[in-house]
């Protein structure tokens, strides 16, 4: 996928029929407003914020306005310059969701994405191996 900044990101050499290996299952960004989820807390649904620093506040305001009270996690991202960075970030997200499925019985996510358009198809290709029910919110739609 080629983005508006002319960076091309691919999943070349990555497995396509199973979840990405590796990744950090504890990659969530912890803040006072988004605390760490306890491993003994059980929930079928959660909000997952995949966005840059400061833009996550839009998702927090939207969730509050819509009365969304399920647990949430944020995986902050920076600029992506190459496919390796993109796939490492996605591997972290996959590992995090696998952990939540195992420890917390997660079944569905409300996905708030501020990721570049050229990264989102690669994310989607990998999420299909981890979680079946996804409600997708683009960052631009919640402002």
Q: Is the pLDDT of residue 3 over 70?
A: no
Reduced 3-state DSSP string for the chain: CECCCCCECCCCCCCCCCCCCCCCCCCCCCCCCCCCCCCCCCCCEEEEEEECCCCHHHHHHHHHHCCCCCCEEEEECCCCCCHHHHHHHHHHHHHHHHHHHHHHCCCEEEEEECCCCCCHHHHHHHHCCCCCEEEEEEHHHCC
Q: Tell me: the pLDDT tens digits for 93-132?
A: 999 999 999 999 999 999 999 999 889 999 999 999 899 8
What is the per-residue pLDDT for 2?
Answer: 47
**What pLDDT band is residue 140 in, cutting at 50, 70 and 90?**
low
Q: For the domain made up of 45-141, give the CATH fold.
A: Rossmann fold (3.40.50)
What pLDDT is recorded for position 8? 76
Domain extent listing, the chain = 45-141
What is the pTM assigned to this prediction? 0.90
């Amino acid at each position: 996928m080629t983005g508006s900044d002319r960076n091309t990101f691919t999943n070349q050499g990555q497995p396509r029929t199973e979840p990405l290996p590796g990744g950090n299952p504890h990659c969530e960004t912890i803040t006072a407003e988004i605390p760490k989820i306890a491993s003994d807390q059980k929930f079928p649904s959660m909000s997952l914020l995949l966005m840059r620093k400061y833009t996550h506040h839009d998702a927090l305001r939207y969730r509050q306005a819509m009365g969304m009270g399920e647990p949430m996690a944020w995986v902050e991202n920076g600029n992506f310059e190459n496919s390796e960075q993109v796939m490492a970030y996605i591997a972290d997200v996959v590992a995090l969701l696998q952990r939540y499925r195992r420890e917390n019985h997660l079944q569905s996510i409300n996905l708030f994405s501020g990721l570049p358009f050229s990264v989102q198809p690669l994310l989607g290709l990998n999420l299909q191996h981890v979680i079946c029910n996804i409600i997708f919110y683009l960052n631009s739609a919640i402002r």
